[in-house]
Amino acid sequence: MGRSPCCEKAHTNKGAWTKEEDQRLIDYIRRHGEGCWRSLPKAAGLLRCGKSCRLRWINYLRPDLKRGNFTEEEDELIIKLHSLLGNKWSLIAGRLPGRTDNEIKNYWNTHIKRKLISRGIDPQTHRPLESTPAATAPTAAPTPAPATTNIDFRSSPAPLPVAEIALMSSTLDYGFKGLNGIVKTKCDSVEDNNCTTSGMTTDEESQEELNLDLSIGLVRNNNNDNHHSKKSTQALIFNGAESKLQQAPGVCLCCQLGFQSSDGFCRNCQNRDGFFRFYRQIDSS
DNA sequence: AACAGCCCCAACCGCGACAGG
DNA sequence: CCCTGTCGCGGTTGGGGCTGT
């Protein structure tokens, strides 16, 4: 019979948002910060479900959204990231400041897919369209890669999850240092889809490097670190976005209203990966 | 001008992950 | 360990705008 609805639907609006609804949501989040989406609509006087409010804010109202056309550089970055990450739109969006996962997903489906097909590339596999799976698929199940290895994405049956790449990088001490400087992805070109990772041996100077700079934080298992619930965090700072935004917890609505736990934060302040979700606007004056 | 078909994107839906009780 | 509530992600949809006839 499926799950129960995410919220009371009898008295909620659906469909396009009005300017008045937008303004209410903006005003409320300005005053109280993001978070606690479930209770936000009622508190903000909106006849919407929390999910809808969250989506509207994240995809449309957030002040740091770039909007407007994608640049050629963004196009290429999306293509490269997609070849590595697959349809992990939120991860891809994390590398494009001011762009949302929804926006990138839409753009992929409407523009980039077509662009790749016109180049003769399969948008899902990033392989030439005419190539058959039998011709390119590995003959045996892949064995675990050594610490530093070449990863040939041409022969990968599916895009490698970023965590898997990081694990293979063998730089785990306290946590992942991030892929920056650990795994350098090299592509001869998007067209030939000849992507490998460091330490590559051939034509390094002539190949374009894609510095993913994906900073990944691991949960540190340290009881003394009680800054944020059971999990401590490492900052996840994206290029571009960090110029005005610094990691700073504590603008979650729950926390604002005093619902936080004894350590000062509620779970809404933190992503499941252990990263802070809330950023405090740094006064630029 | 009117209509049909297409395109795009904002919004919705379902599900998995996770935390807390 | 199980159940429930919540969040966030990825896939899908539908309506408005655009273009061609």
Closest residue by Cα to residue A183 from A194, A159, A167: A167
Per-residue pLDDT at A7: 54
Mean pLDDT score, A20-43: 88
Mean pLDDT score, A122-131: 80
* A68 pLDDT tier (thresholds 50, 70, 90): confident
Strand boundaries in chain A, DSSP class E? 185-187, 195-197, 208-210, 245-247, 279-281
Per-residue pLDDT reduced to its tens digit, A240-260: 333 333 333 333 443 444 433
A284 CA to centre of own chain: 26
Per-residue pLDDT at A204: 38
A110 CA to B4 C1' distance (Å): 21
Closest nucleotide to A219's CA, by C1' atom? Answer: B18
Per-residue pLDDT at A99: 92
Per-residue pLDDT at A148: 31
What DSSP letter does each residue of A209-256 carry, written as one string?
EE-------PPP--TT--SSTT--------TTGGGTEEE-----HHHH
Instruction: List the single protein residue with the shortest CA to C1' distance from B8.
Output: A110
Mean pLDDT of chain A: 58
Scanning residues 120 through 179 of protein chain A, those with a beta carbon under 7 Å from any atom of strand B turn out to be none
Domain A19-61 adopts which CATH fold? Arc Repressor Mutant, subunit A (1.10.10)
The CATH number of domain A72-118, selected from 1.20.272.10, 1.10.10.60, 3.40.50.800, 1.10.645.10: 1.10.10.60
* A231 pLDDT tier (thresholds 50, 70, 90): very low
The residues facing A196 across adjacent strands are A186
Scanning residues 91 through 150 of protein chain A, those with a beta carbon under 7 Å from any atom of strand C turn out to be 91, 101-102, 105-106, 109
The residues facing A186 across adjacent strands are A196, A209
Assess whether pLDDT exceeds 80 at residue A222.
Answer: no
Per-residue pLDDT at A127: 85
Q: For strand B, which nucleotides have at least one atom less than 7 Å from a protein CB? A: 7-15, 17-20
A272: which residues sit within 8 A by CB, 6+ positions away? none
Hey, where are the domains in chain A? 19-61, 72-118, 218-285
Beta carbon of A222 within 7 Å of strand B?
no
Mean pLDDT score, A154-181: 35
Beta carbon of A103 within 7 Å of strand B?
yes
* A107 pLDDT tier (thresholds 50, 70, 90): very high
